[in-house]
Amino acid sequence: MTEFFDDPFDTFAAWMAEAKQSEPSDPNAMTLATCTASGRPAARIVLLKEWDRQGFVFYTNLESRRSEEIAANPHVALLFHWKSLLRQIRIEGSVTAVSDAQADAYFAGRPRLSRIGAWASAQSRPLKDRATFEADFAAADARFPGETTPRPPFWSGWRVTPEHFEFWQDREFRLHDRIIFTPTAQGWQSGRLYP
């Protein structure tokens, strides 16, 4: 039974909890769509790492293509698709950087080899061959022995502040449920769309 609440964050929380029970891997995987300043789109899967009523946070290399596009055009779309539940959630919003303290705290909690990988990867830039990347990884591993690995200055997080939600639930014969939420001065207003 589909459950929609009057508040999009409550609905998101309930649907995410169900996804964590049913999805075989990465229920927090979401498609991130960005655009260049000239409007050329790109989409890729990233992982939602934190969320609250202020927004949805993912972490990445600040020199990556996605970060360059966000810097040029700070409006994005997110899409969660849970095939096991026949559901999806679309979120559109604006993007801001997380604080250094928040990025530091998240980075410190990552597995050590993931922290080393952040130093080794020149994300989105051309790579001659796998051996080059493995050599870069080995050099970063030697540079930061032990458990303390500082966050690279080129690595941080982005927060998507939602300006629109759409919750989609599959129904037989394509008679789907589509519930939207838009912000108002009094809070969030809900409505329905034809499937």
Cα–Cα distance measured from residue 188 to residue 164, given in angstroms and rounded to the nearest whole number: 9
CA 139 to chain centre: 29
Q: Is 151:96 a contact under the CB 8 Å cutoff?
A: no
> Residue 111, SS3?
coil
Q: What angle do CA 54, 112, 119 make, to 5 degrees?
A: 80
CB-based contacts of 117: which residues, under 8 Å, 6+ apart?
A: 137, 140
Known catalytic residue at 174: yes
Annotated active-site residue in 125, 171, 174, 192: 174
Active site residues: 174
